[in-house]
Amino acid sequence: DIQMTQSPSAMSASVGDTINITCRASQGIYNYLAWFQQKPGKAPKRLIYTASALHPGVPSRFSGRGFGTEFTLTITSLQAEDLGLYYCLQHNQLPYSFGQGTKLEI
């Protein structure tokens, strides 16, 4: 099974900052990597798919990069509404697996 190691597990940032969240796969997954944002009590929402493609309607301050085993979600010009939990997901191989999550506080 593929393990997804996500870091950091939590972070605090200020409005206007740029932050990075990293996911490392235990083996290569090409670019079958998606990023999700989850607000308390809500379902996750997809931000990024195929490692770098922006989901329709997601602000351009969100971006993703990476291939193989190392992936990064970057949020520039952080906004107050960006607080929440962020998860990566690999879907190259079954069983699909999520990272442990990153809690972002503003």
Partner 1 sequence: EVQLLESGGDLVQPGRSLRLSCAASGITFEDYEMSWVRQAPGRGLEWVGLIRTKGHGGSADYAASVKGRFTISRDDSKSVAFLEVISLTPEDTAVYFCSGRPAAIHYDIFAVWGRGTRVTVSP
- Residues forming contacts to partner 1 in the complex (CB under 8 A) are 1, 31-32, 34, 36, 38, 42-46, 49-50, 53, 55, 85, 87, 89, 91, 94-101
Q: How far is the CB of 91 from partner 1 (least distance, A)?
A: 5
Q: Which is nearer to partner 1, 16 or 95 (CB)?
A: 95
Sequence letter at residue 26: S
Closest CA to 38 of 85, 78, 81, 75: 85
Beta-carbon-side half-sphere exposure of residue 90 (alpha carbons within 13 Å): 30
Q: How far is the CB of 48 from partner 1 (least distance, A)?
A: 11
Closest CA to 31 of 64, 55, 62, 57: 64
Please tell me the distance from the alpha carbon of residue 105 to that of residue 89, in angstroms, as a whole number: 21
Q: How far is the CB of 14 from partner 1 (least distance, A)?
A: 25
Q: Which is nearer to partner 1, 27 or 100 (CB)?
A: 100
